[in-house]
Structure 1
């Protein structure tokens, strides 16, 4: 009986050793997904390369979702597809929740939601410098991303634009 148990244990160790060798190191790293919203519109939800990141209040922060997957090694030409939905009037006065008037109001209100997509370059990083992916939403549906360990608004953050940015009368084409 003892010999059978030892044999099973030995086979288990051998199997795990082989499995570890065959799997190798993952090509991707997981990190948190954060948002910084520099606009007066609410970000209802956003995603990067299909990984969901939650919401962000006007002129505020959000996200905090786990996880977005990024290549272990940065290489030139890496692009991130950012998709998001905005509510241009997040503070609209609504009728009381649960009423028919509220439901009608929300149908009209949601008709004004806007959907956006942007492809943005992923700036260089080193594996030990990859802390999270921070997505910055700017007026005119512009987006920047950073993987810096210095979160906005740290003076060391690579993103320097102010938090409260005004939408111009006309966006550049």
Structure 2
């Protein structure tokens, strides 16, 4: 919460300053190509929305990136998955539900990845994070959002987890 407020405060300050800001701000969007739910994700500490299996999430403010892209820039992506998002649960609010959820949450998995920040020009439409099988992540700074044919990410939305993931 504080990171979101701080990030948006920086955007407001940048708009009020006399000189040009050193950062660009854009929405933080996610695309989940897996059958697990993404309970939450973050990029360099900026929080993103939860994403349903084979779904989209985002429009969260704000991802802050350097105004000038340079080779070698990296992002840290962290996320939590629920591998069984459609588990049948007892009625919400009941003691049985609380017991079920305590056990269900033990299956949640935390992940992190360091990814290259792709090139962008002097504006940032959005930072789009794609969650792929085998805990792989791709990011896009293109103004063409997935699944546009112009999007640089071409993987299908509904991907299956292979029996063995590559190292």
**Does residue 86 of structure 1 match 2:81?**
yes
Q: Measure how far apart 1:20 and its partner are.
A: 5.2
Q: Number of paired residues?
A: 152
Q: Is the helix fraction higher in 1 or 2?
A: 1
Runs of 4+ in 1 over 3 A off after TM superposition: none
Deviations 1:72-116 (A, max 9, x none): 010000001000000000000000001000000000000000000
TM-score, normalised to structure 1, is 0.86
**Does residue 99 of structure 1 match 2:102?**
no
Number of the residue aligned with 1:47: 42
Q: Flag the 1:108–1:70 CA change in 2: closer, same or farther, 3 A.
A: same
Please show how residues 57-76 of structure 1 align to structure 2 within 5 Å.
57-76=52-71
Provide the C-alpha distance between the structure 1 equivalents of 2:136 and 2:89, rounded to a whole number of angstroms. 29
Number of the residue aligned with 1:126: 121
Q: Measure how far apart 1:64 and its partner are.
A: 1.5
For 1:116, what is the secondary structure of its paired residue? strand
Q: Measure how far apart 1:25 and its partner are.
A: 1.5
Structure 2: which 5+ runs fail to align?
A: 1-15
TM-score, normalised to structure 2, is 0.89
For 1:107, what is the secondary structure of its paired residue? helix
Number of the residue aligned with 2:157: 163
**Bigger radius of gyration among the two:** 1
For 1:161, what is the secondary structure of its paired residue? coil
